[in-house]
């Protein structure tokens, strides 16, 4: 429940103006939250000039007062940081500290979600990564054999990958270091959500945080495709009911050093 401390409240109405569901009103000079259609977005907590609003549903220790020094980022620096981001497929044989993994997940946790659903969950795989690798390579090999042996309209888009998946499996079986899915990274984070948009937005922020921590990332589309095909992978991970795997973030310390940004296509913008 969202609550207002009437001793602190000055009835300024800032919370009323910023409440999208219109669940707050001013009654006898004080804000009153009806808690009927509230989506617990916390805007009333953030906008109140007297820190008069709280909730008993979340941890209020998460709340931090704004100060420009700690909360502002130079926009040109941020844009350069985004431009310099690279997908990493070369990793050092070095463990990723748990506190860094937690900070990456924290950046996903505080990413916006539709209707404040906060429906994104995270599965960290470290100790049982070899089991997951074997499941994934086996699945992709089976998928490759199927698409090459069944030339139907449904398999057409995967035909160019079929031979590749089989070769990747064979190379991995010869030597587990020949890992062209997880690239010998020490940890992966599987992002699941009810909404693909929510999971993708969280993943994007998580990648930026990983870069800021000096780590490298790679999102494995092959893994996601394998998990869609094989329920054993979903069961192994313990994906919660009604959630789906949105991304698989391969994570580790990069064993490659990039020296500059890269070019991109000209931007496609329509001004109306």
Show me where the domains of the chain are located.
2-62, 84-272
Contact criterion met (CB below 8 Å) for 120 and 202: yes
CATH number of 84-272: 3.40.109.10
Least Cα distance to 27 among 4, 11, 49, 14 occurs for 11
Please compute the mean of the pLDDT values over residues 49-60 and round it to a whole number: 96
Whether the predicted pLDDT of 154 surpasses 80: no
Q: Where are the alpha helices (DSSP H) in 19-128?
A: 43-47, 68-71, 75-84, 98-109
Please compute the mean of the pLDDT values over residues 143-148 and round it to a whole number: 92
pLDDT of residue 151: 81
Contact criterion met (CB below 8 Å) for 147 and 161: yes
The Cβ of residue 215 has, within 10 Å, a number of other Cβ atoms equal to 23
Assess whether the region 2-62 and the region 84-272 belong to the same CATH fold: no
pLDDT of residue 141: 97
CATH number of 2-62: 3.30.70.20
CA distance 144 to 157: 12
pLDDT of residue 153: 76
Q: What is the DSSP string of 136-198?
A: HHHHHHHHHHHHHH---TTTGGGHHHHHHHHHHHHHHHH-TT--TTTTT-SEEEEEEESSHHH
pLDDT digits (tens, 9 = 90+) for 195-247: 999 999 999 999 999 999 999 999 999 999 999 999 999 999 999 999 999 99
CA distance 195 to 192: 9
Please compute the mean of the pLDDT values over residues 142-154 and round it to a whole number: 87
Please compute the mean of the pLDDT values over residues 95-111 and round it to a whole number: 98
pTM for the full predicted model: 0.93
pLDDT of residue 155: 75
Contact criterion met (CB below 8 Å) for 16 and 47: no
Contact criterion met (CB below 8 Å) for 38 and 2: yes
Mean pLDDT (the chain, rounded): 96
Confidence of residue 157 (pLDDT cuts 50, 70, 90): confident
Least Cα distance to 19 among 49, 3, 39 occurs for 39
């Amino acid at each position: 429940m969202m609550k207002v401390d009437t001793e602190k409240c000055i009835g300024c109405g800032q919370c009323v103006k910023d409440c999208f569901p219109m669940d707050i009103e001013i009654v006898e000079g004080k804000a009153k939250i009806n808690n009927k259609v509230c989506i617990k977005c916390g805007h009333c907590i953030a906008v109140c000039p007297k820190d008069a609003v709280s909730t008993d549903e979340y941890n209020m220790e998460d709340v931090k007062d704004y100060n420009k020094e700690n909360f502002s980022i130079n926009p040109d620096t941020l844009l350069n940081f985004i431009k310099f981001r690279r997908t990493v497929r070369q990793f050092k044989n070095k463990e990723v500290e748990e506190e860094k993994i937690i900070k990456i997940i924290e950046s996903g946790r505080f990413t916006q979600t539709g209707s404040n659903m906060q429906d994104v969950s995270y599965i960290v795989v470290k100790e049982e990564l070899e089991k997951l690798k074997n499941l994934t390579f086996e699945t992709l090999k089976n998928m490759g054999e199927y698409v090459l042996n069944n030339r139907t309209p449904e398999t057409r888009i995967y035909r160019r990958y079929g031979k590749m998946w089989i070769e990747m499996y064979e190379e991995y079986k010869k030597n587990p270091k020949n890992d062209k899915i997880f690239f010998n990274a020490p940890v992966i984070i599987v992002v699941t959500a009810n909404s693909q948009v929510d999971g993708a937005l969280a993943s994007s922020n998580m990648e930026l945080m990983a870069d800021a921590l000096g780590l490298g990332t790679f999102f494995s589309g092959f893994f996601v495709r394998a998990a869609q095909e094989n329920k054993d992978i979903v069961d192994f991970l313990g994906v919660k009911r009604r959630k789906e795997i949105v991304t698989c973030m391969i994570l580790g310390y990069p064993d490659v050093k990039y020296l500059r940004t890269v070019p991109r296509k000209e931007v496609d913008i329509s001004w109306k």
